[in-house]
Structures are given as structure tokens and as C-alpha cells.
Copies of this chain bind each other. A is one copy, B any other.
Amino acid sequence: MTETWKEFEANEVTHSVAHHLVAIHEVGREYGGWARVSDIARWLGITRGSVSINLRNIKVRGLVIEDDHRQVKLSEQGLKIAQAIMAKKAAVKAFLRDVINVPEEQAEIDSCKVEHLISQSTGENLFRFIKFLTSDDPAARQALSQFRKFEDS
């Protein structure tokens, strides 16, 4: 039981980096993917200085590229990571909210904490599970409605 817990630090990206990537993706959405430091900072709710410094690492690691006007954009690799994270977050949030009845806001908070931590394969399993459970397979529908009753009792 000595080493597994350290896997926490052994992620592709930290929570902070994950959110910088997602922020760039969202902020740059309407500008061909290009985002400015200020907008990223505003989106994340941290200072421009922090973003500036954090982007140094993120650039060095090849997750974003920069143009002449100091705008940044996700690299191919950065985009892949951001998309994977967003997909996992969506899966977790959907599970919490639509399956086990966690209130919207709490589902948002919890899925956000966890998005960059769960493994790709676990994310995929979860996705399939939700897909099944929210399908119109009668067994799925029946189980869900039973669970709702179970909850209320």
C-alpha cells in the first residue's frame, strides 16, 4: 500500500494546468482558438501575473503555441488533453446529476475537481455506463425508476 497514492501527482497535467488549457479553449472559441492572457485570467479568476507565469511552463511543455501578438492557442497535444478532460468532466457530471441525483451545482463542483484525475479508461467505462443507463433499454429505465423510489423511502 506504499506507492499507489503517489499516483495523484503522476498525472498528465495538474488541476491548474488542466484549467488553463480548458480556459484557452473556451476563451479562444470565437477567435479561432486564440486567447489573451487577460481573458484567460479573468475566466479563471486569477491575476494576469499568475497566468503569465503559468503559461511559461505550459509553453515549454508544448501544450500551447504563441503568435507575434502574444496570443496563445492550444497545440495539437494541448487540444487533445483539453478535450479528454472536458469529456471526462461531462461524463462525471452527467452521472452525478442524472443518475445519482446530485444537485446541479454540486455536480458541477465535484466533476470539476475530478475531471483531470480519472484515467482515460475509467472515463470511458463511465461514459458507456451512463449511455446504457440513460438509454431506453427497459432494464435501465426500470432500474432507474426503482432507484428513485428507493431514494425517496
Contacts and interface: CB of A to CB of B under 8 A. Distances in A.
Interface residues of A, number: 51
A96 interface: yes
A114 B119 CA distance: 11
B143 A133 contact: yes
A60 interface: no
Interface stretch (A1-9, A65-73, A75-83): A1-9
A121 B106 contact: yes
A14 to B, nearest CB: 10
A12 interface: no
Contacts of A100: 122, 125-126, 128-129
> How many copies of this protein are present in the complex?
2
A1 B140 CA distance: 33
A109 B2 contact: no
Contacts of A147: 129, 132-133, 140
A44 B2 contact: yes
A128 B101 CA distance: 11
A42 interface: yes
A15 B7 CA distance: 11
Contact of A113 (B42, B109, B117, B128): B117
Interface string A86-116: 0000000000100111100011111011100
B151 A128 contact: yes
